[in-house]
Amino acid sequence: MPIVNFEQYQKMLNRAKEGQFAYPAINITTTDTLNAAIEGFAKAKSDGIIQVSTGGGAHASGNLKDMVLGSIILAEQAHRIAAKYDINIALHTDHCQTDKINSFMVPLIEETTRRRKAGLPNLFNSHMYDGSAVSMEENLKHSVELLKLCTENDIILEVEAGVVGGEEDGVNAEHVGKEKLYTTPEDMLKVYEALSQVKGGRYMFAATFGNVHGVYKPGNVVLKPTILKEGQDAVVAKYGKEASFWLVFHGGSGSSVAEIHETLEYGVVKMNIDTDTQYAFTRPVVDHMFVNYDKVLKVEGEVGVKGLYDPRAWLKAARTGMANRIVEACETLKSAGKTVKL
């Protein structure tokens, strides 16, 4: 199916919330990781979300290091590849910090505006603004302005209040005070009150409940999923059931299945997955190189084995490894087998 449109994306998110499941949101950086993501969703018979970060976009453009160009390239391929599969895919950009609003998110929205005028579908379905490094007041000011711009273009905005700890894509929050890792009910009310002023605006909310980017051994990350329930309850009590958020789970590596399932009960509809799929992509490559050491290298005057040092050989293994990890994610998040024609 083609990449979903605005109405279909909302249906996806509403289905997940009502059914208490979530879509894996897979970060991609290359055409191979993109194909792995779609292949994994297709194998799981799950709809899903594919996303590009500023660093992922920069990587995709090669030595140009142009995060906008690289993101456009990956999105264009996703539109073409997804159309060949019988699942629903949404495209998203991840973690745009405040200092990159005008150099990353706005140019991509402008590209969608250009496409819409030409009768083409949106380039991306949603964008994330990460205002966690600035004050709540400044965060919400930018969020409101970006939501207005997104709404004009039938785009869903993702916002964040609080800080996801750890390090991802060059952004380090390892030394942030622990109190900032937990979004309060008051914060959640402020987010709703600010963004609900934008008529027709649709948004997802990455509230923080102890999440940490990166990978850690079990027990090293202290999650408090009940924070999500407390925040949702506060908003619903004051503004009604329709005010309940589409929530997003960042920094989930190392979380127990029980913790993940608990978040689904509180409205999580999207869970970002990057660290685990990076490892799943790289591990088969390492195996291939170790097992075939004397064949992928021209050792002691030998010629090696072309079929084994051909990048297609080990990239296929990498793609399969990543796709299998995505199937596991779909099963954990309960989206497996639930694709429907929207």
Domain limits, the chain: 6-332
Residue 165 contacts residue 211 (beta carbons within 8 Å): yes
- The span from the CA of 42 to the CA of 38, in Å, is 6
Residue 166 is predicted with a pLDDT of 45
Q: Residue 79 contacts by C-beta under 8 Å, 6 or more apart in sequence?
A: 2, 3, 91, 121
Residue 109 is predicted with a pLDDT of 98
Residue 132 is predicted with a pLDDT of 86
Closest CA to 13 of 241, 268, 228, 269: 269
**Strands 165-168 and 212-213, bridge-based pairing:** parallel
Angle at 85 between CA 79 and CA 88, to 5 degrees: 70
Superfamily of domain 6-332: Aldolase class I (3.20.20.70)
Residue 311 is predicted with a pLDDT of 98
Task: Indicate the helix (H) or strand (E) that contains 89.
Answer: strand 89-97
Residue 195 contacts residue 159 (beta carbons within 8 Å): yes
Which pair of tokens denotes residue 322? 């990543």
Residue 182 is predicted with a pLDDT of 84
Catalytic residues: 94
Q: What is the Cα gyration radius of the chain? A: 20
- Buried-state track 312-340, b at ≥16 Cβ within 10 A, e below 16: ebbbbbbbbbbbbbbbbbbebbbbbebbe
Residue 287 is predicted with a pLDDT of 98
Residue 213 is predicted with a pLDDT of 53
Mean pLDDT of the chain: 92
Residue 234 is predicted with a pLDDT of 97
Residue 157 is predicted with a pLDDT of 98
In Å, what is the CA distance from 44 to each residue of 21, 274, 276, 335? 14, 18, 17, 8
Query: Which regions in the chain score pLDDT beneath 70?
Result: 163-180, 211-221
Residue 251 is predicted with a pLDDT of 80
